Amino acid sequence: MQIRALMYFDELVRTNSMRQAAENLNVAPTAISRQIENLEYHFGAPLVERSARGVKLTAAGELLAARAGRTLRELDHVQQLIEDLKGLQRGRVSIYANGATVANLLAPALAEFSLKYPKLRFTVTITSARQAIDAVNSAEADIAVTLFAPPMSGTKVRLRSEIGYDLIATPQHPAAAHAEIPLRMLADYALALPDQSFGFRQAFDALFEKEGLSLDPVFVTSSLEMLKELVLSGAAVTLLPALTVRREIEAGQLLAIPLAGKTGIRTHVDLCVAPDRQLSFAATKLLDFIERFMRERTNRRAETKD
């Protein structure tokens, strides 16, 4: 069985069309058909059923489709490792992260790393925590960075870094006069919060309910950028990790005010990899850099509070 046959089959599964698969691979449709026949001969079972509406996978085809993509990705990974042995100064890293908050934590690390290694290339996919972990397990991703992730098997947590949520406001807002903000005082402010799909919002709602407080945010959005713009305009305050608005804080546009006492919301950011998969040179270098970057930022934040 040739790798080319698996490649053609994988493209056929992805497009569900002989013609489209042939166009994408820049070959004749007969070449696709011939390679599928080779696979069917090799496995001794039909893999696809052809009709005027396209192709439909048989039970055997479904089994092969579930594994062909991962096999090809692993072969690409082996190619990357071989290039590493040759000492080639290039590489590609796939990172999956969940949530806009993680993206804002990850972006500064990637930007700094890319300046040090300009020949490397990166693909960043923002998705749910579960999909990020699944991507690592299926070899679609080299690294997953997750926030509020549920316990999942099959991955190794390389680093767990704790972060806290502060009240984010403009220097002109009344909240800026306080060194700490009691939870009850938040009810007096116009709040902009993420929607219920965010793990942080669920934790914040539970905290308010535990304290016997009612929550009526003025703005609810799924966009972190929208939250920041609403706060910058002075229309509301929000709760975010200070790192996600670091640029605005350094520019004097925003302030991060801790919640008083032990009522704050803290969570962890997990840096995850597959335990049984050797990473390429590029992915290993990036993983080490992100780990060091997160440790330094966490320590710096702790020193600032002390």
Task: Judge: domain 3-72, CATH 1.10.600.10.
Answer: no
* Three-state SS sequence of the chain: CCHHHHHHHHHHHHHCCHHHHHHHHCCCHHHHHHHHHHHHHHHCCCCEEEECCEEEECHHHHHHHHHHHHHHHHHHHHHHHHHHHCCCCCEEEEEEEEHHHHHHHHHHHHHHHHHHCCCEEEEEEEECHHHHHHHHHCCCCCEEEEECCCCCCCCEEEEEEEEECEEEECCCCHHHHCCCECHHHHCCCCEEEECCCCHHHHHHHHHHHHCCCCCCCCEEECCHHHHHHHHHCCCCEEEECHHHHHHHHHCCCCEEECECCCCCCEEEEEEEECCCCCCCHHHHHHHHHHHHHHHHHHHHHHHHHC
State how far the Cα of 234 lies from the Cα of 281, in Å rounded to an integer: 46
Place of tokens 């890319």: 114
State how far the Cα of 164 lies from the Cα of 264, in Å rounded to an integer: 7
State how far the Cα of 186 lies from the Cα of 213, in Å rounded to an integer: 10
Domain ranges of the chain: 3-72, 89-149+275-305, 166-264
State how far the Cα of 281 lies from the Cα of 86, in Å rounded to an integer: 11
- CB under 8 Å to 9, separation ≥6 — which residues? 35, 36, 39, 47, 64, 65, 68
3-72 matches 166-264 in fold = no
pLDDT value at position 220? 94
Q: Cβ–Cβ contacts within 10 Å for residue 209, how many? A: 11
Place of tokens 């100064």: 89
Encode 279-302: b = buried (16+ Cβ within 10 Å), e = exposed. bbbbbbbbbebbeebbeebbeebe
pLDDT in tens, the chain (306 residues): 577 788 888 888 888 888 888 888 888 888 888 888 888 888 888 888 877 777 888 888 888 888 777 777 777 766 666 665 454 466 788 999 887 667 667 888 899 888 888 878 899 998 888 888 888 888 889 899 887 666 666 678 888 877 788 999 999 999 999 999 888 888 889 999 988 877 778 888 888 888 888 888 999 998 888 999 999 999 999 998 887 788 899 899 999 999 887 666 777 788 888 887 777 777 888 888 888 887 776 655 555 555
Retrieve residue 163's tokens: 């972060």
Task: State in words which class domain 166-264 has.
Answer: alpha beta
Task: State in words which class domain 89-149+275-305 has.
Answer: alpha beta
